[in-house]
Amino acid sequence: MKFLLLDELPNDLRFSLHKDLMSGGKTVRKMMQAKRLAELMLAAM
């Protein structure tokens, strides 16, 4: 989770990794619902 929040991570890589992780199990999807991460995903679009 902290890795996805790094400012140095390019948006395209963050978005791709987030998409892949969201297709994982229920526990992983729950962790990926952090507000800060959601804001970064929207900014990357």
What was the pLDDT predicted at 25? 78
- pLDDT at residue 38, as a whole number: 75
2-35 burial, b at 16+ Cβ within 10 Å, e below that, comes to eebeeeeeeeeebbeebeeeeeeeeeeeeebeee
Q: Which residue has the tokens 């929207």?
A: 42
pTM above 0.85, yes or no: no
Task: List the chain domain ranges.
Answer: 3-44
pLDDT reported for residue 18: 82
The tens digit of pLDDT for each residue in 1-42 reads 678 788 898 988 888 888 888 887 787 777 777 777 777 777
